[in-house]
Structure 1
């Protein structure tokens, strides 16, 4: 079991009634809480959501607070400080003065910094410090009025040749405040991508998806991501730029295996972080499985850090891998399913 969950179980006597576990690790914590606790989960990670459901745990996959009443809330500290600000605001706006919020996280994950974000809402108390984690309690003393999701957006402009788009990103989404270098290296090559049915794997705020749609209004773009905040951000980016939502097919996925088949192209700046930890599983799976999701003449386009050894994985599947460019620490890799 995750050490954060173990710390919650150490202090389980504080919990009772309807308890919402927010951003909980993918384990059996909800099943191991005492009988006076009826636990459910709010997650924005689709893989975790599917796992909770298969274990019989009540789970909500959303960017918004679940439509239920709760006596208490346990927040597992997310990587993003901005995302925690949003989560705290939403939670406090749905609870009442006097109710308790618990915050748990790893020391290396910034739990002490995160605990300071509780202070504007009331009195805080550190309940436990164990397993390299901390558990904090907040008793709400200040009411909040729920702000619209749009007020949490960050927006920035990206230009490639004559095309300019405004990118909208919600808290916690990759590269929320500015365009990342890898995507910037890839964007000039999008005009070479085979048109038709295209998947943007790990769509993030929708930079790649929106430029593909702008380049050709006939494209069908499948924006794939594990993160509910990324999928909503992509939709907001399309709306902000007046792009046709009929072109956009948003799909929550656990990995590339959930992607559509018979694609003309897969384009990706693949993810390699899972929370605060590095995880290459999704991007390596992309290299190995992409061909099975492409038409016989389909294309794979990936931008990746220069140090990541993806070409051999792509070559094993496609028989070849072309390096289109190598600049600013990133390579654009291309392979054809011919």
Structure 2
């Protein structure tokens, strides 16, 4: 009797599902990550992608991706500043990211008090026609920041400011207008200075209209923002003022518009010195314009309001903006006080000219 034994079948291994993500070419993933880094609204948008998996972490730190990252991807809060954040910014600088050059330059110059490397990074961004870097360097030249009073170079400040204004920087355009009106570092030309101030306000209004159109296309909302001076109280009820750059801004021609969003570098400076992360030296003050954040690098570096002598500004643009923003309602003449250690030209009559 023959016994037929059945062959035992070896169990088949379940077929592994193919991972479509792993099948994507690196070039395509890098392109997608570059778009993400350039449009990120906060650092967490980009960081969350890097920690998703090993491949995204490797490709997310690719030179191309880091070079395309936008300013909001570097908008780290002062309280979260760490050596890791510093290294990440340096890595982006090495990748050729202009925004990283400017932001790290501002942090080093004003917060970490590494004046030479900070100015060098800002200059590196300015060479690549980065308008905020050009304007910041002009402010440094106007004030002689990081040096003495004798280190001021008004002509260099005007030249840098003019270049930034040509690239569309509104604060630089406003600063240049005031310089021409006052004959500060340039031959006085009141008519041309006034024309530049009109142009600065026109660009300001145009940028607000674009912002309103993107956020709420209704023309009614646009009309609500561009109200006359008589309706200022009504506007503030719809858009209550907040600290920093959120105040409603009264332009030179009677229109209420929201103040533009401060650059991440200025927000970092404001948080750094406002929260106690960084301490100002004895006798040093911050610029009184809430959206600026620049500190003095030596006593009596910034100019004071000539009427009340209670507020100080790093630039004529900041003084003009803060006057329209809040100081006009607060400023009142007081008895002039004498400071034997002060710089004579810092208390000037610019406030009266701008306030008129």
TM-score > 0.5 by shorter chain = no
Q: Which has the higher helix share?
A: 2
Of structures 1 and 2, the larger Rg is shown by: 2
What TM-score range do you get, normalising by the shorter chain? under 0.3
Q: Which has the higher strand share?
A: 1
- What's the TM-score, normalizing by structure 1? 0.25
